[in-house]
Structure 1
């Protein structure tokens, strides 16, 4: 039996797609850097090094939108896209894991 078909992504401009893609890449890297979830310094170091270029790509996508006159982010549409692209799980890796309160 084939897996269920996912709903289609909402219609996005090319710049909005780049913002979403870059944002998720930044989240993934921040999740690898997160010391509360880290597996080692080398992995975190490599992610931190890559973060610079991914953050620049996010900045460039937002700058392009602004230059084109797209001054507002349509959060409802972008939230739907983020959810379809596993944004909730990916963003959860940036936060502290649930567990015991601090000592």
Structure 2
């Protein structure tokens, strides 16, 4: 038996793509955060990937619109993001708690 994970709400195919693409954008954006990375190469690669991930998000939202899914059901999407552990990116999107160590600047 496999352990039962969190219940993900029923989503349309387009909504599912939006959630997946949004999580991918958050992941890449956290990799670009200059307070969370130490190397320009790593941040550059994350920024390059962010462009592609953002296009995927745009395409997913366009698909929703084309399919006449004109409303975003906020509570359902929030539940889906939380079920997929989207909160794990929040601490990496802003400055670190307590400030960053002094780097002499």
Partners of 1:85 and 1:39 in 2: CA distance: 27
Aligned length: 100
Pairwise CA distance, 1:90: 1.4
Partners of 2:56 and 2:99 in 1: CA distance: 37
**Equivalent residue, structure 2, for 1:69:** 68
Q: CA RMSD in A?
A: 1.7
- Within a 5 Å distance, the mapping from 1:57-96 to structure 2 comes to 57-96=56-95
Unaligned runs of 5+ in 2: 101-105
**Equivalent residue, structure 2, for 1:23:** 22
The list of structure 1 runs, each at least 4 consecutive aligned residues, that deviate by more than 2 angstroms after superposition, is 2-5
Secondary structure at the aligned position of 1:93 is classed as helix
| 1:7-54 Cα deviation digits (max 9, x unpaired) | 221000111111000000000001010001112111100011111111
Compared CA separation, residues 4 and 72, structure 1 to 2 (3 A): same
Compared CA separation, residues 100 and 54, structure 1 to 2 (3 A): closer
Partners of 1:55 and 1:10 in 2: CA distance: 24
**Equivalent residue, structure 1, for 2:103:** none
Compared CA separation, residues 100 and 12, structure 1 to 2 (3 A): same
**Equivalent residue, structure 2, for 1:98:** 97
Partners of 2:9 and 2:80 in 1: CA distance: 6
**Equivalent residue, structure 2, for 1:44:** 43
